[in-house]
């Protein structure tokens, strides 16, 4: 039987905030079984918390922002993607301020911290949302859907009218090894003209070539270039893994994304939660349900 998992000890991640440019830190702390994942502001009276669930997503512009009555926290997707890949079910993510450290713009700093903390299997079974029928959200221009699959698989396609990006696609079964090898080090990216505009508005003050891929009209301007030839689509797949954590339970299914951002992902998660007849809860331990991925649906949508 697959049991719920938390970390063995508290670990800290520190760096700068993407928007403020000021020093910031977070602490990953173990949580009891059946707790879930919470962001906690330890510097505010009463240490208010926000559950990592779709109902608390308040903004999907450029990043995913969670908000409760006392505080909000943005750019949560990089951190959460590492939790999804490492099968962390219960965790307190304690913050000393309003921002998460941006690290190098990837999920690596969070994955590294969690690996250093180690894992504890807890005495409660892990309950999955097992997709039994296709669930779709979007349009022909951009969409996301999930179909039955015995595991977690992501197929992601992006398309940008830039000579260094164009159309890129990745198809990957997700586990801690494939995540570390293929996704965790893929950095966020942006265009120089947009970055300059954001800084004029007092945003992205902590953004730099140390924590993002930046492109001008023709080239990647980072001195070190890219970590992967298709780093852009790898980062988008990583983002999607973070957003799917707001489902509130681990997903078993094949996630297929076409030009979808945080907005589409949030809508897909809400669509899954509303589609009670299209998934069921299972506990892994005995025989899995038959693998019934709907290939006709995949062919029709692609």
| pLDDT, tens only, 256-272 | 999 999 999 999 999 99
Question: What is the Cα–Cα distance from 300 to 277, expressed in whole angstroms?
Answer: 22
Reading the block at residue 57, the tokens are 């997503």
CATH topology of domain 3-125: Ribosomal Protein S5; domain 2 (3.30.230)
Question: Helix, strand, coil proportions of the chain in percent (round to 5)?
Answer: 25, 35, 40
Instruction: Report the share of the chain in percent with pLDDT over 90.
Output: 84
Q: If pLDDT is split at 50, 70 and 90, which confidence band does 155 have?
A: very high
- Name the average pLDDT for the chain: 93
Which residues are CB-neighbours of 112 under 8 A, at least 6 positions away?
Answer: none
Is the sign of the CA dihedral 156, 295, 254, 140 positive or negative? positive
The per-residue pLDDT for 269 is 98
Per-residue model confidence as pLDDT tens digits over 75-87: 999 999 999 999 9
Closest among 77, 83, 227, 238 to 156, alpha carbons compared:
238
Q: What pTM was computed for the model?
A: 0.93
pLDDT of residue 292: 47
86-144: pLDDT as tens digits: 999 999 999 998 889 999 999 999 999 999 999 999 999 999 999 999 999 999 899 99
Contact (Cβ atoms closer than 8 angstroms) between residue 292 and residue 148: yes
Top-confidence residue, 287 or 256 = 256
Which residue do the tokens 């999955």 mark?
Answer: 128
What would the mean pLDDT of 36-40 be, rounded to a whole number?
98
Strand order in the sheet with 91-95: 11-16, 23-30, 91-95, 37-41, 49-51
Indicate the DSSP class of residue 206. Answer: T
Q: 169 has which bridge partners?
A: 157
Class of domain 128-301: alpha beta
262 belongs to the catalytic site = yes
CA separation for the pair 187, 128 (Å, rounded): 29
Catalytic residue among 19, 78, 235, 262: 262
Domain coordinates of the chain in residue numbers? Answer: 3-125, 128-301
């Amino acid at each position: 039987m697959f049991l719920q998992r938390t970390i063995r000890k508290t670990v800290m991640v520190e760096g700068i905030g993407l928007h403020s440019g000021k020093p910031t830190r977070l602490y990953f702390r173990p949580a009891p079984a059946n707790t879930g994942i919470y962001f906690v502001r330890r510097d505010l009276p009463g240490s208010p918390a926000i559950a990592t669930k779709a109902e608390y997503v308040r903004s999907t512009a450029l990043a995913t922002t969670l908000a409760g009555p006392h505080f909000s926290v943005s750019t949560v997707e990089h951190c959460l993607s590492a939790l999804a890949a490492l099968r962390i079910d219960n965790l307190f993510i304690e913050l000393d301020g309003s921002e998460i450290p941006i690290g190098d713009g990837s999920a690596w700093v969070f994955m590294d911290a969690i690996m250093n903390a180690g894992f504890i299997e807890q005495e409660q079974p892990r309950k999955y949302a097992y997709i039994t029928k296709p669930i779709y959200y979007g349009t022909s221009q951009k969409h996301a859907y999930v179909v039955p699959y015995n595991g977690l698989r992501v197929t992601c396609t992006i398309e940008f009218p830039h000579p260094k990006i164009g159309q890129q696609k990745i198809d990957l079964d997700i586990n801690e090894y494939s995540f570390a090898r293929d996704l965790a080090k893929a950095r966020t990216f942006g265009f120089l003209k947009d970055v300059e505009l954001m800084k004029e508005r007092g945003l992205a003050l902590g953004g730099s070539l140390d924590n993002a891929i930046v492109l001008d009209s023709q080239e990647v301007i980072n001195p070190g270039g890219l970590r992967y030839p298709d780093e852009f689509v790898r980062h988008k797949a990583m983002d999607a893994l973070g957003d799917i954590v707001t489902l509130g339970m681990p997903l078993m299914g094949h996630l297929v994304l076409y030009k979808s951002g945080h907005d589409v992902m949030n809508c897909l998660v809400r669509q899954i939660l509303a589609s009670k007849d299209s998934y069921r809860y299972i506990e892994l331990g005995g025989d899995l349900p038959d693998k019934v991925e709907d290939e006709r649906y995949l062919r029709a949508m692609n």
